[in-house]
Amino acid sequence: MAKPIQSALIGQKFMGRAHSNAFGQVAKFFDLPRPPALHTVAARDGAELAAFAERWGWANHTTRWRDVAADPEIELVDVATPNHVHAEQSIALLEAGKHVACEKPLAGTLADARAMRAAAKRAAKKGRKTFVWFNYRRAPAIGLAYRLIREKRIGRVYHVRATYLQSWGGPGTPLVWRFQKKHAGSGAHGDLNAHIIDLARFLTGEEIVEIHGAVSRTFIQSRTIPGTRRKGRSDVDDAVLFLASFKGGAVASFEATRVAAPHQNANSIEINGEKGSLRFDFEDMNLLRFHDASDGDREGGWRRIMCTSAGNHPYAEAWWPDAHILGYEHGFTNMLADVCRVIARKKPELPIPDFEDAYQTQRVLEAALLSARNRTAVKLSEVR
């Protein structure tokens, strides 16, 4: 029996649940060279933690995350805490010799992201790996799009059109950490644009070289402080839109918002190329739309590909028969399967972003904010 990867998780709320589910499921569906073992969960709320650990199968629990760093049995730590603590926790964990899988965005600020990237570089010399939970890369439809682009089925890329539209951030939503710059870094931008920048870079395999213009808007500046009737200031954006270009000359538009009712989790990307186009919308996450220009004008149009065919679509063989469709949680489980493979020195099904990769996405986030603030174009070469 292969030696399990003793793993720990920090954070026990939204991502804590999504990741715990993946840790519990992954070895049941994937044949892994080394499966994970659920060693310890750490989070701040001691009152809830014991029940959380029992429900999700974590053997131990602690309110002191540094216990996890100090425990020599633990190899992999999953950081699922708010953005402002990613750097402190990830750097300490890497220095303690752990592999680290951190939630996105890599950090709230570019300076934190830069420090994390440097720590990852130092740790890599000792064989430590880093991973960032850009989970949408792990939808089989995105994986198929990635492969079709590598097979040159859409040829030269002309346009990338990416939008991530949500609607939960209206005036009735309280001042949770996501609306506070000191905790989140930014609002819809770091939360949602981070995902679609990552998808655009991943799919095209190209870097963004310039932001041509951007607009950032905070529509709701005052929100109720949770558990009180008092109001506090929301100092992050509710929406950020920007235009960009890629190294190969393709142009791109990105749009992230938390106030686009009735969209709920409308993460979509369309790529138009010389020989064809691709389109993905997370709310129909099992489908990839593919247009092959060689079909001609008479019969051309969007093909609707159900990406659940074992052997044809990434990760599909681990799951269910054709069109017995996958959901949100499968992206995390698929990613964890690849994390376990990489730690066991095997190839992942699809490339996983590490801290270096996520740092490049963070630079794009920063460049767009600078562009909005200064009302100018910003070259990525100016943002280091």
- Contacts to ligand NAD by CB under 6 A: 10-16, 43-45, 65, 80-83, 85, 103-104, 133, 135, 191
> Least distance (Å) from ligand NAD to the CB of residue 109?
13
> Least distance (Å) from ligand NAD to the CB of residue 331?
8
Listed in order, strand segments (DSSP E) in the chain are: 5-10, 36-42, 60-62, 76-79, 99-102, 130-132, 157-165, 208-217, 222-224, 231-233, 239-246, 251-257, 266-273, 276-281, 287-292, 303-306, 378-379
> Least distance (Å) from ligand NAD to the CB of residue 17?
8
> Least distance (Å) from ligand NAD to the CB of residue 27?
21
> Least distance (Å) from ligand NAD to the CB of residue 321?
27
Between 16 and 353, CB nearer to ligand NAD: 16
Between 136 and 242, CB nearer to ligand NAD: 136
d(CA 200, CA 354): 16
d(CA 3, CA 194): 35
88 membership: H or E segment, kind and range: helix 86-95
> Least distance (Å) from ligand NAD to the CB of residue 334?
13
Q: CB-side exposure of 347: number of CA atoms within 13 Å?
A: 2
Between 92 and 208, CB nearer to ligand NAD: 92
User: 3-class secondary structure for 6-59?
Assistant: EEEEECCCHHHHHHHHHHHHHHHHCCCCCCEEEEEEECCCHHHHHHHHHHHCCC
Between 177 and 320, CB nearer to ligand NAD: 177
> Least distance (Å) from ligand NAD to the CB of residue 335?
9
Closest residue to ligand NAD, judged by C-beta, is 13
Between 14 and 320, CB nearer to ligand NAD: 14
> Least distance (Å) from ligand NAD to the CB of residue 45?
5
Report how far apart, in Å, the C-alpha atoms of 28 and of each of 23, 326, 331 are. 10, 16, 15
Between 16 and 35, CB nearer to ligand NAD: 16
Q: Is 324 exposed, middle or buried (0-12, 13-18, 19+ CB in 10 A)?
A: exposed
> Least distance (Å) from ligand NAD to the CB of residue 189?
12
Between 12 and 268, CB nearer to ligand NAD: 12
Q: Is 243 exposed, middle or buried (0-12, 13-18, 19+ CB in 10 A)?
A: middle
Contact call for residues 243 and 252 (beta carbons, < 8 A): yes
Between 32 and 107, CB nearer to ligand NAD: 107
- Select from 254, 202, 238 the least CA-distant residue to 371: 254
Query: Which residues is 210 bridged to in the sheet?
Result: 245, 379
Contact call for residues 8 and 76 (beta carbons, < 8 A): yes
- Select from 301, 336, 251, 314 the least CA-distant residue to 22: 336
Between 80 and 157, CB nearer to ligand NAD: 80
